[in-house]
Structure 1
Amino acid sequence: MANNRPTRANTNTEPPKKKKKRKLSKKRVFWTLFFTAAIAIFCALAGYLYITVSGEKLYNENFDKMEVKENSKVYDRSGKLMGELSIQKSDPVESDQIPKLLKDAFIATEDKRFREHSGVDIWSIGRAAVKDIIARAKVEGGSTITQQLAKNLFLTREKTFFRKATEVSIAMALERKLNKEEIITMYLNRINFGGQIYGIKAASQYYFGKSDLNELEVWEMATLAAMPKGPSKYNPLRNPDLSMQRRSVVLQLMNEQGYITAEEKEIAKDVVYNYTPPAKKQQYLAFMDYVMSEAEEVTGLSQDDLNVGGYKIYTTMDANAQQVMEKEFADDNNFEKSVDEVQVQASMVIMNNDTGAIVALLGGRDYERKGYSRVTSSRRQPGSAFKPIVSYAPALESGQYTKDSLLSNKKQCFSNYCPGNLHGYSDTISMPDAIQRSENIPAVWLLNEIGVNTGFKFAQKLGITMEKEDKNLSLALGGMSTGTNTLEMTQAFSAFANGGTLNEAYSIKLIKDSDDKVKYERKKDGVEVMSKDTSYQMTQMMQNVVESGTGKKAAISRPVAGKTGTTQSGIKGNKANRDVWFVGYTPELTAAVWMGYDSPNKTHLLRKSSSLAASFWGKVMEQAVQGFEAKSFPEPPENVKQPVEKPVEVPVATVVTGLNGSYDPTTQIVSLNWNGVEGSNVLYHVYRKESSESDFRLIMDAAPTSNVEDFDIVEGMTYEYYVKAFFPDTNTESEQSNSVQVFTEPLTEEVPDVDIEQPDINNGNGNNGNGNNGNGNGNGNGNGNNGNGNTGGEIPGVPETNPGTGGETIPIPPDGTTVPPEQVVPPVGEDSGVTNPLDPGAINTGTTEHVEPPVTTTP
């Protein structure tokens, strides 16, 4: 059905009406402007009121900062004053002691409208803003002298949104409370003049040798007035040319503002600065710099605040130990002589076992204030010194092993990672012997048994900074991506000495402010990181290292336990070392020593091993421990089982024959070899007598092969040796062999560089010399039973040739200075070696063993 409803027509045919535009009347304009101005005036008044009230409040709260305090002082562990944090003491001077022209020089340079404004110079701020906009950069500051004083007195160095407003409010409060003379005088007494120099009098004394400010000449006044713009940049001692240029600007401003004549300006402008401050050697610089860094961290104060805040900082430093360390670091005879002017560098830290208190430290030879400190800034490969931390201690802690456990010492590979021993191989070896002789295979085997992650986490618990790249078996031999430092190693080993409790290293006991209120106090925070059983057994084994192992040079009049470490060059044909370490402890103190070049290369390497570091350790510690009451290492815990001695039958032992020896002056090593005796489990005792000694003494008590090397040599001495066979099963020893004398004659000419095209660096050390039992160069270069040389190893992915006690043929890169990670030459050294997977130039060793590169390579 159709829809017949009519459509509704739109009857509204008129167009829509347009809104009438309201005309902008004068009345409306007036009221708009009136209310806008009123709001602006109200905001300005409110802002001014806020700034005024805020300034008054801050001024009253920090009124004590108006007083120019004496320099902060630092005290040693006995409460004796070590020194002041500022090199040059800044005694405040009164207004009448400052010449008017000197004040005018600063006013002309920093704030020419100083005597006219009320703390804030609107015209200067506007002018500076315009110049900044034109230059599209900040080229001129608008702060007045009063604002600068407010910033120095009341504000921290932290930059915040309201900092400038706060600075303005305090400046206005200062202007209301003080007159202009008081403000300029306070400003000159507080301003920094470069480095640790604060105050106008201190600056005058330091830069011109004048304590009386009235003796300053015009050019000297202008030189000082030039410095606030950039205390370091315009320092006349460090940058005389820039200082002279800036001085000319100051003199020009002084002349334009009528303070000096044009003639005075010209005369002062051309004076050449040639004053040399008297040498003033401040004691304990390295320790005080460390204290300063720690103080900034624990208080949140800036360096400037600490310098002039009148604080009293009580430290842990032992004056005798620090003086001894500085004296021995200054003795060039304690360090290997360099081939040129580049010095062999060193780092050492001594720490109290009971508390973690740092007793002494030094981060380099010829250390200067705020210099480069190798205590914390330099990280190096620790070599075999890392074995106790990452292999042996965590294995004991796991409960699966004790110090009496037998470890594998077979020549073997671990998933294509093939470390090697310098002293040969045997089916098993005891843990004490493995540590004492610093063998590689047992350390790697043990880490593989307990799991790399176990060793990795244990090292972290001991405070060692670890990277995820470090999780591989090369870690057992010190293979770290970034290395460690003497501070971390000292802290870690102190846990062995402290019954398994780790105390974080610290240098500050207490900080008091100028009113003797405690600002900071150290709280003891020891954490148990291993059992007493583990620490006791580790101490026993590491005492053997010092008594008859690789660390004999560290022996002193107190009981000592410790571990050596060496990192080798990684350069083909070069047996020199990058780093040498000794980390050890007495019952009272723990210390770590590192030696090496800052930038090792083919020219700058150490020819000596870690015995150098051990000797230095002993020399310092023998003197340092005198300030501490003698103690003994702890008795064994009740639950540590002591081995029961069993009666044994004494068989007739076969006598060792054919002993002979030779000396290599290039490596300073005596090589000994003899005819081995029959038996499946035979070790050898090696005895030695120096020409200065009356009796023989045991120097090696568990040599598993019939050839050994003596590293503990002094050139120019004659050594006599004999050997006895030792049978562990029956605990018996044979009669002595024939004796042999070796004279260690030094080289009479410079040792030539090793030919980098030589095809191999590892000479054999086998019994046959025929490539089947140790021909290390892969070409049959042995001499039967008299073969000599060093343990070699394999490169991952490269097939072994001529396996045996000696080394294997290794592909050598043509470049002798840097070694690609996939072609790193395995090191040969006295401790252990491992290629750093992230640093192809660094190979980690210790003092008596050798290791091949890890599996990990750089992509």
Structure 2
Amino acid sequence: MARDEMSRTNRNRDRETSTTKPKPTSKKKKKFLSKKRVLWTLFFSTALAIFCALGGYLFIMLNGEKLLLENGDKLTINPTTKVYDRNANLIGELSLEKSDPVDRADIPDLLVNAFIATEDKRFREHSGVDLWAIGRAAVKDIAARSMVEGGSTITQQLAKNIFLTRDKTFFRKATEVSIAVALENDRTKDDIITMYLNRINFGGTIYGIKAASIRYFGESDLNKLDLWEMATLAAMPKGPSRYNPLRNPELSKERRAIVLQLMAEQGYITQQEREEAAVVDYNYKPPESKQRYQAFIDYAIDEAEAKFGLSEEDLNIGGYKIYTTMDKHAQQTVEDAFADSDNFEKSVDDELVQGSMTIINQENGSIVALMGGRNYEKKGYSRVDGSRRSPGSAFKPIVSYAPALETGNFSMNSTLSNEKQCFGKYCPNNLHGYSSSISMSDAIQKSENIPAVWLLNEIGVNTGFQFAKKLGIGLADEDKNLSLALGGMSKGTNTLEMAQAYSSFANGGEMREAYAIKSIADKDDETVYKANTKPERVMSEDTAYQMTEMMQKVVQDGTGKKAKINRPVAGKTGTTQSGYSGNSANRDVWFVGYTPEWTAAVWMGYDKPSREHLLKNSSPLAAAFWGKVIEEALRDVPAKSFPQLENTSTPEPEPSATTEPVEAVGGLSVQYDEATLTVNLSWQAVPAADAEYRIFRRESAEADYSQLMTTNLTTAGDISAMPGMSYEYYVIAYYPEQAVESGPSDTVSVVIPDELGTPEPEPTIDPNLPTPNPDEGGGTDNPGNNGGNNGGNSNNGGQNGNNGNSGNPGTPPENPGTPGGPNSGGPEQPAATPPPATAVPEATIAPVDPGAVPTPDAAAALPSEEPIIQ
């Protein structure tokens, strides 16, 4: 029984244990992806893909045929794009310019091949859509996360021109493909390329290959075009505005070279033909077609492309309304002044003395008026922003004086060094003589060179460099040297940048980016773009006030007297000397100034300066032009006054120590030295040992004398006298202890022979525009001394920095040197770089100002002041 009881107990234990054990899992686990399920999925996916492909194919075929039939004869259904002034007055329309269609037989094969090689090398192989190109473009778009490449064939480009909308959507792209396929099915390749060439845009409002040939080469017979001309036209579809040969000849030439290379690689031309066609310079000048406001309209269209992403073709056929900032009366005044040849120096040949002017409303940054050259053509070369030249002494306020005031260590009454000195190997000169010291206000008024360079050295070159960049001046790293104080720049600047920079002085230290478009509305009058400029404080209000106070004196009784009008004016002159040894003529003359209402910059000079193409006049010519234009342009604008700052006062001059008469200068004599091309003056000394002598000069065509220079010596040399001109001089003695001037000495006169030994006729100038005279203070940089020291801060003393090797004027030094420590001296003169198209001087030079600076070789000559560079 015991054995039975034990057996029963074990069975009960086993039963309990079995109830607590987990149930074993099934050996057959249900599979989620069975072979059958995979096969059905593949079947339905394939069926769906085939269905979509068939649907897409039917859409492309049917829709494309339908759209092609409906729109085959249309280019656009939108109204023309219209341009308005700041008061919403219509000033122009972008009406399309088209010629009669050209038959394929009248288009040379080489011209056709130029376009195929450039735009669609597989044109003769594909059926409207190049899958390889689309795939390549898709990869690039995905990598860039934006549309960077289109992959469109010539047929697709034609389809896009026929289609009605400009929307950049997938649906538009699909429709474009459908029309392209339809075109390939219905037309031959010759038909397609002919339609394409007759419809494509060639810059501005020019459409069609024949219209382009007439516009850019004056040739209606396409078979008479040379290879380089064909390649120039084939270069344009990539960027009709950018590669327009009239507007951007250098960029057009670069793009043409690419077209020629592609043609050679694809076997259409030989390498010799490529090389010969690549070097030809574009110099065609289309017949003049005058239209009011064209320069401003062209600038506004360029701004719409650059700032708002609209293509030139979008603007031509999109039916937009562009509302600009242009003032009609101001623009008309500028255009009339540029059309009057009496306002410009007479040229020695058919190459005109050119000019540029930009006027800005400093309160909001809007461009009021502009002009990019005389005889400006539609979509032509504009010097407003296209040409860059050395500004000479007009750069001193931007890079030396204003940043010095900003440091808080200087004021307009601070005493600056005016002693003859070198900064390392950089040795600028004054034209008006030297003194131990001079106030900042007087230094600007007389446009002396030494104080501007000394001051930049004191605050540090980088301080002035960064300040100028903050004011919107395009500078390069190689510009970090002391010659920057006198406008020595590797690439130069233009009237747009200079007017924008000076607008910050006029606007109490705040600057707005200059703009020409207020807003753009689409064809439905919906505003799609709007200007949004915010002011940026670039200097303190006190600095702007002091600069205005000092630059008013420049106009009142300094180098800018010819800019005087019936309103308050502040400004600065600038001149760039020729840079040729023994030649005192000038390359560039400037005046940049402002009233309480508007700021404007004027430049005059030759596009391609050379020994034969230089200016006899100096910056007073630009100042007189500025005054004439601004006074008329502001005729109906209420006059204002410059603001006055509280707690800021200019010390009154101390009363004269005595009213006793002082002795005048006697014994004045004059002699012209033909060997040095210098008018030498000498006179007897007055009793006072510390007397200062002020020399005045008047050119025969001028009504008034202007101060030429100041010196402590009893001799002086006028190196700015021009061949074929006559001059009168007198001298006044200034007695510092008594703070009085003597009466004038007797006058002496001299006639400067021309190269043949006889005076040549003087340039014709409007009597209302007095001929300039070299009354700007300052001196000439030494073109041969290309020092290598960047100026440091000399307040703490120290050793001179490393000097670079001296070199020829305008050429980059081999060893520019490193920035020096305190007291490190003069930088090298900036290296000349090739100027933009149509503005390359033939020789390397440095600018000079009466504070003059030698000019560099390209569009950016080193500056000089009146007579030398201002």
Structure 2 residue identity aligned to 1:413: C
Q: Partners in 2 of 1:571 and 1:716 — Cα distance?
A: 18
Higher mean displacement: 481-490 or 588-597: 588-597
Answer yes or no: is the 8 Å Cα contact 2:91–2:293 preserved in 1. yes
User: Partners of 1:567 and 1:378 in 2: how far apart?
Assistant: 15
Match of 1:846 in 2: 865
Instruction: Return the TM-score normalized by structure 2.
Output: 0.65
Pick closer, same or farther for the CA change 1:340–1:750 going to 2, 3 Å. farther
In structure 2, the CA distance between the partners of 1:35 and 1:525, relative to structure 1 (3 Å rule), is closer
Note the 1:342-741 alignment, pairs <5 A: 342-635=351-644, 637-643=645-651, 646=654, 649-650=657-658, 652=660, 653-661=662-670, 672-679=681-688, 681-685=690-694, 699=707, 704-707=712-715, 722-734=730-742, 736-741=743-748
Cα separation, 2, equivalents of 1:739 and 1:593: 37
Query: Unaligned 5+ residue runs, structure 2?
Result: 1-38, 110-122, 134-151, 185-191, 227-285, 761-777, 788-805, 815-828, 830-843
Partner Cα separation in structure 1 for residue 741 and residue 157 of structure 2: 87
Letter in 1 for 2:852: S
State the match for 2:53 in structure 1. Answer: 47
Deviation track 1:732-786 (CA, whole Å, cap 9, x = no partner) reads 333x253224366785958899xxxxxxxxxxxxxxxxxxxxxxxxxxxxxxxxx
One of 224, 228, 240 as aligned partner of 2:220: 240
Task: Quote the Cα distance in structure 2 between the aligned partners of 1:102 and 1:475.
Answer: 55
Q: 1:339 aligns with which of 348, 365, 387?
A: 348
**Aligned CA distance change for structure 1 residues 319 and 551 (closer, same or farther; 3 Å):** same
Q: 1:38 to 1:812 in 2, by over 3 A?
A: closer
SS of residue paired to 2:290: coil
Q: Deviations over 1:694-738 (max 9, x none)?
A: 9x877479655545578999999997665432233442333x253
Residue-by-residue CA offset, 1:815-844 (whole Å, 9 max, x unaligned)? xx99786897776654311454x8699332
Q: For residues 625 and 129 of structure 1, what CA distance do their matches in structure 2 show?
A: 58
Give yes or no for contact 2:491–2:859 (8 Å, CA) kept in 1: no
- Given that 1:51 and 1:168 are in contact with CA atoms closer than 8 Å, whether structure 2 keeps it comes out as no
What is the one-letter code of the residue matched to 2:155? S
Cα displacement (A) at 1:471: 0.9
SS in 2 for 1:608: coil
**Are 1:742 and 2:749 an aligned pair?**
yes
How far apart are residue 291 of structure 1 and its match?
0.2
Deviation digits for residues 138-171 of structure 1 (CA, Å, limit 9, x no counterpart) = xx96738993455563455x9x9x9864522577
Whether contact under 8 Å (1:812, 1:825) holds in the other structure is no
Contact 1:570 1:819 in 2 (8 A): no
Q: Secondary structure at the match of 2:436?
A: strand
CA gap 1:287/1:727 in 2 versus in 1, 3 angstroms: same
Alpha-carbon deviations, 1:71-124, whole Å to 9, x = none? 11111122211111236599xxxxxxx9xx999999xx9xxxxxxxxxxxxx99
For the residues of structure 1 that align with 2:676 and 2:341, how far apart are their CA atoms? 21
Amino acid at match of 1:624: A
TM-superposed deviation, 1:619:
2.4
Output the CA distance in 2 between the equivalents of 1:573 and 1:279: 39
Q: CA deviation at 1:560?
A: 1.7
Change (3 A) 1:628 1:574: same
Matches of 1:55 and 1:828 in 2, distance apart? 71
For residue 480 of structure 1, report the CA deviation from its aligned partner: 0.9
| One-letter amino acid of the counterpart of residue 511, structure 1 | I
Cα distance in 2 for partners of 1:643, 1:659 equals 36
The answer on whether the counterparts of 1:434 and 1:442 sit within 8 Å (CA) in structure 2 is: yes
Please give the alpha-carbon distance, in whole angstroms, between the structure 2 residues aligned to 1:791 and 1:103. 63
Equivalent pair of 1:821/1:840 in contact (CA under 8 Å): no
1:715 and 1:369 map into 2 onto residues whose CA distance is 38
Matches within 5 A, 1:103-182: 143=155, 147-149=159-161, 151=163, 153-156=165-168, 165-169=174-178
Verify the 8 A CA contact 2:156 2:179 in the aligned structure 1: no
Distance in 1 (alpha carbons) for counterparts of 2:569 and 2:758: 36
Contact 1:55 1:166 in 2 (8 A): no
Q: CA deviation at 1:567?
A: 1.6
| Greater Cα offset, 532-541 or 707-716 | 707-716
* Distance across 1 between alignment mates of 2:58 and 2:301: 36
C-alpha deviation, 1:341, in angstroms:
2.1
The equivalent residue for 1:832 is 852
Q: Deviations over 1:179-233 (max 9, x none)?
A: xxxxx9xx99x955755558xxxx8xxxxxxxxxxxxxxxxxxxxxxx47x8636
Q: How has the CA–CA distance of structure 1 residues 589 and 681 changed in structure 2, closer, same or farther, with 3 Å as cutoff?
A: farther
What is the SS of the residue equivalent to 1:314?
strand
Contact 2:576/2:848 (CA < 8 Å) preserved in 1? no
Task: Report matched runs for 1:77-92 at 5 Å.
Answer: 77-86=86-95, 88=97
Identity %: 49
Distance 1:790 1:833, change over 3 A: closer
Q: Which amino acid aligns with 1:388?
A: P
**Aligned 1:791-830 pairs, distance under 5 A:** 793=782, 795-796=784-785, 830=850
Q: Is the 8 A contact 1:348 1:363 kept in 2?
A: yes
SS of residue in 2 equivalent to 1:675: coil
How many residue pairs match? The answer is: 666
Question: Aligned equivalents of 1:481 and 1:812: distance in 2?
Answer: 16
Q: Is the 8 A contact 1:309 1:514 kept in 2?
A: yes
Note if contact 2:457-2:482 (Cα within 8 Å) is conserved in structure 1: yes
> For 2:516 and 2:584, how far apart are their aligned partners in 1?
39
Q: Which has the higher contact order (CA 8 A, sep 6+)?
A: 2
Distance 1:698 1:104 in 2: 68
- Whether contact under 8 Å (2:566, 2:631) holds in the other structure is yes
TM-superposed deviation, 1:131: 15
Aligned letter for 2:354?
Answer: Q
